Amino acid sequence: MNRRVSEKGQVTIPKALREQLGIHPGAVLEFAVENDRLVAAKAREPGRLERVFGIIELPGGTDAELVALRGEADAI
């Protein structure tokens, strides 16, 4: 299937391919060049941990939080 690139660099993915690959509005694609070919693939969905990573802000940072939880480290 051939498609023309617009002035803005946009290309419409044919409906049959979108359906076959499960590409829906809002889907994120990754682009790469492999052997002089443009390759597009669905981006990997973030896992549960990745979705929540960094949402808790610790006022003094991680080190201060660890000291609050564990106390000061003993000098050797």
Say if residue 34's pLDDT is above 80.
yes
Whole-structure pTM value = 0.54
Residue 51 burial by CB count (10 A; 0-12/13-18/19+): exposed, middle or buried? exposed
- Scanning the structure block, which residue is given the tokens 């993915």? 13
User: Of residues 51 and 22, which shows the higher confidence score?
Assistant: 22
Amino acid letter at 22? G
- Over residues 39-73, the pLDDT tens digits come to 999 888 777 887 777 777 777 887 888 888 888 87
| Domain residue spans of the chain | 15-70
